[in-house]
Every structure is written in C-alpha cells, then in structure tokens.
C-alpha cells in the first residue's frame, strides 16, 4: 500500500494544473494566462469585498447611464448587478451601485442586435451611392458586409506583432518598438483594401492622412471598418476644403444624407462600429487621422466591460490646440462665427492646413476624437483619462508664450472652458501624473486600452512613417506566444510581456498608481460636479501650470 502521507497544498494545485493542461481539458495558453491572472490578483491582494471607486445612488446611476430608475432597481433586485453599502449611504437613498456595472448592464440590455438587417441594408445603399466616387473601396467594403467567408486575417500580422513584443522587452535605453527585421515586416505589410491615389477620391484621403502604405507603394486600409471610417472622415473634414478634392467629400456627404437624413453622422459612425464587429481585424495600422476618428468605435467596444483607459502626453482636455485642431482654434482665436457642425472650420482657416501638412497634435480630426468619443454622452462606461502633467505644462506654456496680450488671455480662457466641460462629464475620471519619470515608456505607448482591444502608439520616427499606432485585438496576443515554440526562454519572456498588454494588468497598474500617489486624481469617475465646482478645479489646474 502506498504511503498516504498528505501532499502539500501547493503540490496538489500544481498537479491539478498540469493534469488540466496535459489532458487538453483547458488549452495550455489559456491555462497559463488564467494562473498568471490569479497570481497577479493574489500579489496585489485584490479582494472581492473591496468597494468600487465609482459608487453612486441608483438615481444618479440611472441619470448618468440614461436608463430608467426602475430598470436599475430591477437589476439590483434580480441580482443582475451588485449593491453596496457605500460610505455614508442611508436608508433614505438605499444601497449604492457601481456606475461601471450599471453601464455594463445597460449596454447588454439596450444595445441593438449587431448589424440588424435594416442597418445592414442602409450601409449597402450608402456604399452603392458612393461607388461613383470611391468605386474599388466601396465594392470591397460591400463584399466584406455580404460575404460570410471574408477574412482579412494574415500570418504576417502575427509576425509583425511578435516583432513588436520582442523589441519592446528591452530594458532602459534598449527599449525599442521594432527590431530592424520587425520594421521591415511592418513596412512590407500590404493593406487588405487598396486605393489608387491618382483618383480624385484617392487624392482626398491621401491629403487627409487616412491611408497606410506598404514598402511597395500600395496605399489603402487594413480593415473594412477603417475603410468605412475614411468615407466618414472625407464626408466631414474632407468636405470643408474648397478645391476639387473637397468636391469628392461633399459628394460623399450628400450620399450619406440621402440614406440617413440629418442623422447621417451618428448613423455612419454606427455603421463603422457594426462593420468592425462583423469583420474584426486582429492587427490594424492607424494613421494619426484614423486614430482620432476611431475613438467612437473604440469606446463603444469598451463599454461592454464598462471601463476604458487612456494615457496622453498632449491632453486635449487641457490644450485647446489638441482638442480642436489647428483650423478650428484659429477660427476661435479670431472670433469667427462657429458653424453648428462640431468639426467645421472656415475656408480661410483650412486653406493651408490639410492634415498631412500638420503635426498630429494639430490635426483637424482631433475634435472628433473628443466630441464623438471621450465626451459623447450616449456611450456608456467609465472613461479613465490619465495625462502627463509635465508635458501638458510645457505645451500650454509654449503656446501661451507665443501669443501676446488679448490673444493670450483668450487662449487661457479656452483652456479653462475645455477642462471645465470635461470635468462636468460624470463618467469621466481625469488624473494627472506629475513626475516625468512616472509617465514611463509603457504608459507612453498605451494610447487607449480596453478588454477587447489595445491601441499601441508608435514613437520611433522610422516606425511612425509606416503607422501612427497599431490597434491590436487581445484575442491575437496568445498566438504570438504560440509562434515562439522553438525557443523556450523567449516564449517565457513573451508570455510575461503579453500579459502586460492585458487590460486587467493595465487596470491594476492604473489603480495602483492612484493608491500610491503616483497619479493625482482631479475627478473620480461616477462623481458629478456642478458648474461652479468644475470651473474651480479647471481654473486651479490651468493657473498652476502657467504659474
């Protein structure tokens, strides 16, 4: 009879994990990731009874998320969402709820069926109308919508992401975005939808900075969603320019109005979202213009989990030139009458400011990044926006110093107004990192992060000539590890680095920075400020930066 001496708990757990992996009951990569997540939670002592930071009353939650009070009450009563005895709660107001959890519940119960037949028909009608201006692109996006076998996933995308991860594992000065081999792979990646830049439409999207290119000279888009996004960008900002390229944008705008009427902006953004859900691309190269245009779709994807995180060195909520872009700010500084469209500017301000002629921080598409993204009230969920205070301070002071007298006062007033408006949004959490060394290499690259996606900003000049950012589907990450099966040491390092790209780790670091005082929270998500409170905080922040 074998010795029945009790095994230690750790050995038993280890054997259980090995059995699950070796038997195939759980895929090995998923098992490893699950164990690492559990270890991370134990290491940081995250416990289930920790109160969420965004507790509000049920009435406040219903107002913030735009659902009925009865719906919130029923979700609590039926156990759909948890209730908490938050600090200071009383029987008068009842138990409190997490605003993020209410946003998740609202999203799952109120969202349209993905790409319902009526919406799909509208998109196909729009694409049929724009074929006369964007023939090849419209036909390819139509094929993506109707062909269930459409697939833009290629092995090269895995290799490009793998090279990024390998290069990024260096320490200190050795941290890079790409090895020389990886940079070659990135530059040789062919767009899945090509555009002829010699055509009027091709010339327009080229001037708007919407096209990605390969080393062979082919220009286009990596996914049907970004191609449709380019049509949206052309019909908004592109239609404002007075030359023949702008004529194409005006034609596209007319086609959108013919299909959707006055709601064409919101409905075309809906179409971009649904096409992205229908035909997701695991790795997508983004130009600066595409990055700002896509924030609406990104946040709508993030809302299913209730939270998104963004890091910024040049924050639009404090810097008007980064919020509005150069043409609109130029109009505002000379008191030109503002058109009703959020993205509109006068012909005089746009005469010498095609997006490709501007640095990314002054891109005219940036206003759409905020108006239809960060500040859009109809997108549920907490949006954590963290910025580098030293970088914001430098940019604010430099721009203010370039002005004199009345213009400088006007610019400071615009800065206060933009920050006040941001602070008035209940679902926004705004925080600052005051020390330059604490806004590290890692945060600099995570432009935006959510559970389904992470947007990696490229800083190396050579890489930025190919792409401003890489949008990565998190479902692609385990395959990078699988592609390194021949090198055990490299595989282990890759696994650790890829775990760092996961949303729960990014979220844990964000919260840890706030707990340790590394980041300074100007406003907590889920907390509502009145006009006076928001303006007081905004004025104090702007004045301290200019002092």
Determine the pLDDT at residue 4: 43
Output the 3-class SS for 161-215: HHHHHHHHCCCHHHCCCCCHHHHHHHHHCCCCEEECCCCHHHHHHHHCCCCEECC
What is the tens place of the pLDDT at every residue in 225-266?
A: 999 999 999 999 999 998 888 899 999 999 999 999 999 999
Query: Do 437 and 502 have their domain in common?
Result: yes
Whether residue 163 lies inside any domain: the answer is no
> Does 310 fall in a domain?
yes
Q: Is 156 contained in some domain? A: no
The verdict on 89 and 122 lying in the same domain is no
Domain final residue, candidates 261, 281, 301: 281
Task: Report pLDDT digits (tens) over 360-384.
Answer: 889 999 999 999 999 998 887 889 9
Q: Of 417, 507, 475, whose CA–CA distance to 100 is shortest?
A: 507
Runs of H (alpha helix) within 304-343: 320-324, 326-333
Residue 158 lies in a domain: no
Could you report the per-residue pLDDT of 124-174, keeping only the tens digit for each? 999 999 999 998 899 999 999 998 888 766 788 888 888 888 888 776 666
pLDDT for 99 equals: 77
- According to the model, what pLDDT value does residue 409 have? 94
3-class DSSP assignment, residue 312: strand
Co-location of 312 and 376 in the same domain: yes
Helical spans, DSSP H, in 402-520: 405-423, 441-445, 461-464, 477-482, 488-500, 503-516
Contact by Cβ (8 Å): 320, 361? no
Spell out the residues 6+ positions from residue 428 whose beta carbon is closer than 8 angstroms to its own: 374, 375, 382, 383, 385, 422, 523, 525
Domain that holds residue 274: 113-150+190-281
Q: Do both 71 and 39 map to the same domain?
A: no
Q: Is residue 181 part of a domain?
A: no
- Beta-strand pair 212-213/219-221: antiparallel
For residue 98, the 8-state DSSP code is: E
540 assigned to some structural domain: yes
Which residue, 281, 300, 316, sits at the end of a domain? 281
Query: Do 254 and 317 lie in a common domain?
Result: no
Domain shared by 97 and 238, yes or no: no
pLDDT, tens only, 92-132: 456 888 877 787 777 666 555 567 788 889 999 999 999 99
* Cα radius of gyration (the chain): 24
What is d(CA 543, CA 547) in angstroms, rounded to the nearest whole number?
A: 6
Residues 228 and 243 in one domain: yes
Host H or E run for residue 56:
strand 55-56
- Please indicate, yes or no, if residue 406 is contained in any of the structural domains: yes
> Are 426 and 491 members of one domain?
yes
Q: How far apart are CA 264 and CA 253, in angstroms?
A: 8
Total structural domains within the chain: 4
Q: What is the per-residue pLDDT across 321-356, written as a single tens digit (0 to 9) for each?
A: 999 999 999 999 988 888 889 999 998 888 777 898
Of 256, 281, 306, the residue that ends a domain is 281
Are residues 227 and 309 located together in one domain of the fold? Answer: no
Domain shared by 276 and 141, yes or no: yes
Do 310 and 264 belong to one domain?
Answer: no
**Whole-number pLDDT of residue 3:** 46
Residue 482 has a CB neighbour count (10 Å cut-off) of: 14
What pTM was estimated for this model as a whole? 0.82
Residue 184 lies in a domain: no
- Name the band, by pLDDT with cuts 50, 70 and 90, for residue 391: very high
210 and 347 fall within a common domain: no
């Amino acid at each position: 009879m074998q010795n029945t001496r009790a095994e230690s708990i750790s050995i038993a757990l280890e054997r259980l994990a090995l059995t699950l992996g070796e038997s195939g009951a759980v895929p090995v990569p998923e098992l490893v990731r699950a164990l690492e997540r559990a270890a991370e939670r134990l290491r940081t002592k995250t416990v289930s009874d920790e109160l969420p930071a965004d507790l509000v009353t049920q009435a406040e939650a219903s107002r913030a998320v735009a659902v009925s009070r009865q719906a919130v009450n029923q979700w609590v009563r039926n156990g759909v969402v948890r209730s908490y005895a938050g600090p200071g709660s009383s029987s008068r107001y009842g138990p409190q709820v997490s605003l993020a959890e209410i946003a998740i519940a609202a999203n799952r119960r109120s969202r349209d069926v993905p790409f319902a037949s009526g919406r799909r028909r509208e998109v196909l009608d729009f694409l049929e109308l724009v074929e006369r201006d964007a023939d090849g692109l419209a036909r390819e996006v139509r094929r993506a919508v109707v062909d269930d076998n459409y697939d833009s996933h290629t092995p090269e995308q895995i290799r490009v992401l793998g090279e990024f991860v390998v290069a990024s594992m260096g320490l200190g000065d050795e941290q890079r975005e790409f090895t020389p081999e990886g940079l070659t792979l990135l530059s040789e990646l062919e767009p899945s939808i090509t555009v002829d830049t010699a055509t009027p439409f091709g010339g327009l999207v080229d001037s708007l900075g919407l096209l990605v290119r390969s080393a062979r000279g082919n220009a286009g888009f990596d996914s049907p969603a970004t191609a449709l996004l380019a049509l949206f960008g052309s019909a908004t900002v592109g239609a404002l320019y007075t030359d023949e390229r702008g004529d194409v944008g005006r034609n596209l705008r007319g086609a959108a109005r013919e299909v959707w009427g006055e709601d064409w902006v919101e409905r075309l953004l809906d179409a971009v979202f649904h096409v992205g859900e229908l035909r997701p691309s695991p790795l997508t190269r983004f130009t600066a213009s595409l990055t700002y245009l896509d924030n609406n779709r990104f946040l709508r994807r993030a809302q299913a989990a209730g939270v998104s995180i963004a890091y910024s060195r040049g924050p639009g909520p404090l810097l008007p030139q980064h919020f509005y872009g150069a043409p609109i700010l130029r109009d505002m500084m000379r008191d030109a009458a503002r058109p009703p469209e959020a993205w509109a500017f006068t012909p005089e301000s746009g005469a010498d400011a095609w997006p490709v002629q501007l640095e990314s921080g002054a891109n005219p598409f940036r206003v759409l990044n905020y108006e239809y993204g960060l500040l859009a009230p109809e997108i549920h969920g907490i949006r954590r926006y963290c910025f580098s205070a030293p970088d914001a301070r430098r940019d604010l002071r430099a721009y203010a110093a370039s002005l004199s007298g009345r213009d400088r006062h006007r610019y400071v007033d615009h800065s206060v107004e933009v920050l006040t408006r941001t602070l008035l949004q209940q679902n926004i959490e705004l925080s600052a990192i005051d020390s330059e060394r604490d806004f590290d290499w890692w945060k600099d690259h995570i432009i935006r992060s959510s559970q389904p996606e992470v947007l990696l900003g490229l800083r190396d000049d050579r890489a930025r000539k190919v792409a401003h950012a890489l949008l990565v589907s998190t479902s692609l990450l385990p395959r990078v590890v699988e592609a390194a099966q021949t090198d055990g040491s490299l595989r282990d390092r890759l696994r650790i680095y890829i775990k760092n790209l996961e949303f729960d780790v990014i979220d844990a670091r964000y919260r840890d920075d706030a707990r340790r005082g590394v980041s300074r929270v100007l406003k907590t998500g889920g907390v509502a400020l009145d006009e006076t409170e928001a303006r007081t905080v905004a004025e104090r922040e702007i004045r301290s930066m200019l002092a």
